[in-house]
Structure 1
Amino acid sequence: MALSFRSFLRNYAGILLLLGGIAVGSILGLIFGKDVAVIKPVGDIFLNLLFTAVIPLVFFAIASAIAQVDRSQPLGRIIAAMFLVFLGTILVAALLTIVATWIFPIRVQLAAGLKVTETISEQSIGAQITSLLSVNEFFELLTRKNMLPFIIFAVLLGFSVLRAGEAAAPFRRFLYAGNEVMKQLLILIMKLAPIGLGAYFAYQVGVVGPQLFGAYAKPLGLYYGLGLFYYLAGFSCYAFLAGGIAGVRKYWKNNMVPSLTAVGTCSSIATIPANLDASRKMGVPEHIGNVVIPLGASLHKDGSSISSIIKIAVAFAILGKGFNSPEAVLLALGITVIVSIVEGGIPNGGYVGELLAMSVYGFPVEVLPALLIIGTLVDPMATLLNATGDTVAAMLVTRVLKPKKGVAT
């Protein structure tokens, strides 16, 4: 599948502009040093816009997705098997990444020269679980620091709309319209990202110095190395579980077009048509593929699972803390599952993951730009894993529902 240079520029314009802004900001930081702090408010304004948009964005995205489910379809077994497979592969990707961060630890403290203005609060486990999952006033939901309770509220609201049936049709349309509006709002805000992150990065380089560049090399190398391993070995293992050697052959014979589409468009949603065609050729029945592939584009994100763990490990490194306690690991696994769901259908949806991690762990706002930059740089590989993982997930769902035949016949 040939992709023209013009198409490449169109699909990757956002990333190229963002990298350009970061490059310009870095040069300004190198030239002017600490004097570049005068433009830091530009970066702060961008981050504040992002923070204020994320709450309504997440609410409409989740509530609308659940409210739009067609209850008339007999999809119970397929959906149950699909969520089992999605959860399993997301956790496998996350656990592999956690082990990789232990084998190749990220020890560089990126923020050694930055002044941290927020602190991490210490709470008992019971109090932490309570505050993590709930609040005692509605208005307290409307803050990034309580994002997880807000997500739970959005999920419950979406199911309530389903239960209300036709009586909730106007509200269902409101949720759908709100989701479309918020996606456009985020697109508008992200047009400021090259300037906003460029200004913030200039400040970081000016304060921390040129060694900042080397600090990103290890997490990026770890992500791309592990991502390539997971793409080749992980997906091959899943295909083998789904259909044996024949399943592996079918998967890789028909996976190239979806892979090139994912890299060329940088979008899981745009890869749906290629995935639907490929899944049929892989032996996935249409009634399974037509459910798993579209929902997988929104809910199944192995690449995002890997990047979520690496970004959390980077945040711990920034703060000089070890990413190895049982509590930290369990929270990371929970975050990566939620991020995989929340990202669906949201432009630059990975940024929601950074905000959620900051909310759950109580990270100071100073770590956010580093996580945004890493998220941007790993986006092509993340999209490849997110999109092409949907077809092998459909193969696994077929195997779960048809354990004797799988997809190899």
Structure 2
Amino acid sequence: MKKIKIGLVPKLLIAIVLGILFGQLGSLPTVFLQIPITISSLFSSVLSFIIPLMIIGYVVIGIADLTQGAGKLLGATTLISYGSTLVGGVIAYVVASNIFPIFITPELSASVTEGGEGLAALFTIPLEPMLDVTSAIVFAFLFGISISWLRGQNKGETIYNFFNDFSAIITRILNSFIIPGLPIYIFGNFVNLSYTGSIQSILTVFWRVFLIVLALQLLGVIVLFIIAGIYRKEKPWQFIKNQIPGYITAVGTQSSAATIPVNVEIARKNGVSQQIREFVVPLCATIHLYGSITTVTSCVTAVLIMYGMPFDFPMMMGFILVLGIAMVAAPGAPGGAIMSALPFLPVVGIPAAGPIATLLISLYLTQDSFGTAANVSGDNAIALIIDKIYHTKILKDKSWTPSKNPETEIVKELNT
């Protein structure tokens, strides 16, 4: 008999539903409700311990990779991708801060913050992180930039390989323990939210939030293709039509990496040259995160409004700026963006491993596939723009001929 494999999102949805139902069983002895809450609390402690290590493991190697002398073409691709990501975050904040208060009323916020007192864990383990989040961030940025500089001097490969292996270890921990443990973690937290009576108000808010997020993601992708079409002096609607299979593939797989072959073929249909599509599409699958930052920013703003916390623009802008860099190093597993965002939630006053962070993880992961689809769809719009830059700059030089390694050849040519 063939074993049926259940994906992460169905598991999370099942965990949320079961947690809500279990938390309503007031006739049960309290200790039965405290058991999953205790497991969730222990998981939270481990997650708090891992978070600073995640920052070091991913951000160091991410900066070292992205900043080493990459040439004009790589610089242009990175700049456009990061700019698109930041614009997505800013637009999401502007929309959220003006529209969300319409349906997140003071009465609804009060029902969330003034719910019944949650149940305590049966016991806790004093597991303190080796570094606090701020120290890890400063360490990661300083070492990432320094390693990049060393590699530019043809040095530093030993320490680069060390952090590269360290990043692989963190990825292994996430994929084998943290990600699989999320349904249990979320189950325990939703038991407590249901027990306090605040879950109904939370769900009333977030189905509306997700409709707005989905609209912002689709609108952003359309605008990117319109910009690409205007720049190339071609009709953008055909580009949008061609992207539909890539969007559907990303929704089904929840993976930018798994969508790369489909996206490369779409880029070919769009008329993007082989050298550019084989260079830009895989790169943007890592560094272009318009859809993800739209969701994270919207959800964070909604939670801040819901809990009566400050959500002013300067604070959120700082969060968006650092998030645009941090998510570049997101692991290739579903939910990598929100896991990379966790260490930076204290920037907006949200504890990285508290119940609010757990709520954000739960809500983000249930729609992660749509954010991924927006990310990869925007990748092909960027490929169209970079291809235009390529044709107007490189192909004017008749001495240039493609090589077996187009990325190296293009960067070399643009540096001359």
Please say if residues 316 and 322 of structure 1, whose CA atoms lie closer than 8 Å, have aligned partners that are also in contact: yes
Q: What's the offset of the Cα at 1:174?
A: 2.8
Counterpart residue identity of residue 18, structure 2: V
1:148 aligns with 2:137: yes
Which amino acid in the other structure matches residue 211 of structure 1? S
Residues 218 and 330 from structure 1, CA distance in 2 versus in 1: closer, same or farther, beyond 3 angstroms? same
Aligned to 1:372: 361
Q: Which amino acid aligns with 1:48?
A: S
Deviation digits for residues 38-94 of structure 1 (CA, Å, limit 9, x no counterpart): 5322211122222222222332223334555797xx950111211221122112212
The alignment status of 1:388 with 2:377, answered yes or no, reads yes
Match of 1:211 among 201, 208, 216: 201
Equivalent residues in 2 for 1:114-263 (5 A)? 142-163=131-152, 165=154, 167-187=155-175, 188-209=177-198, 210-231=200-221, 233-246=222-235, 248-263=236-251
| TM-score, reference length from structure 2 | 0.78
Q: How much identity, in percent, do the aligned residues show?
A: 19
Q: Hey, what's the Cα distance between the residues in 2 that align with 1:391 and 1:287?
A: 14
Alpha-carbon distance in 2 for matches of 1:240, 1:31: 57
TM-superposed CA distance for 1:156, in Å, is 1.8
Q: For 1:184, give the aligned amino acid.
A: R
| Root mean square deviation, CA, Å | 3.2
Residue type of the partner of 1:156?
Answer: I
CA apart distance, 1:382: 0.5
Deviation at 1:346, TM superposition (A): 5.3
Secondary structure of the 2:339 match is helix
Q: Secondary structure at the match of 2:25?
A: helix
Return the letter of the residue paired with 1:86. S
CA distance in 1, matches of 2:27, 2:308: 24
Aligned to 1:121: none
Is residue 32 from structure 1 mapped to residue 26 from structure 2 by the alignment? yes
CA contact (8 A) 1:61 1:346 kept: no
Q: Give the distance between the partners of 1:341 and 1:93, measured in 2 at CA.
A: 15
Q: Which 5+ residue runs of structure 1 have no aligned equivalent?
A: 1-5, 117-138
Would you say how many aligned residue pairs link Structure 1 and Structure 2? 371
Aligned mate of 1:57, from 54, 59, 64 = 54
Q: Deviations over 1:194-229 (max 9, x none)?
A: 111100111011113433322322222222232233
Moved over 6 A (4+): none
Kindly provide the amino acid, as one letter, of the partner of residue 257 in structure 2: I
The corresponding residue for 2:122 is none
**Pairing 1:45–2:5 present:** no
Contact 1:42–1:196 (Cα < 8 Å) also in 2? yes
Deviations 1:144-193 (A, max 9, x none): 3545324413422441452353x543433333322222111001222111
Residue 13 of structure 1: how far off its partner (Å): 0.7
Residue segments in structure 2 that go unaligned for 5+ positions in a row: 119-127, 396-416
State the Cα distance separating 1:344 from its structure 2 match.
5.3
Equivalent-residue separation in structure 1 for 2:129 and 2:16 (angstroms): 35
Greater Rg over alpha carbons, structure? 2
What is the match of residue 303 of structure 1? 291
Q: Which string of whole-angstrom CA distances, capped at 9 and with x for unpartnered residues, describes residues 15-35 of structure 1? A: 111221121111111223894
Q: TM-score, normalised by structure 1?
A: 0.80
In the other structure, the counterpart of 1:105 is 100
Match of 1:14 among 5, 8, 21: 8
The alignment partner of 1:314 has SS state of helix
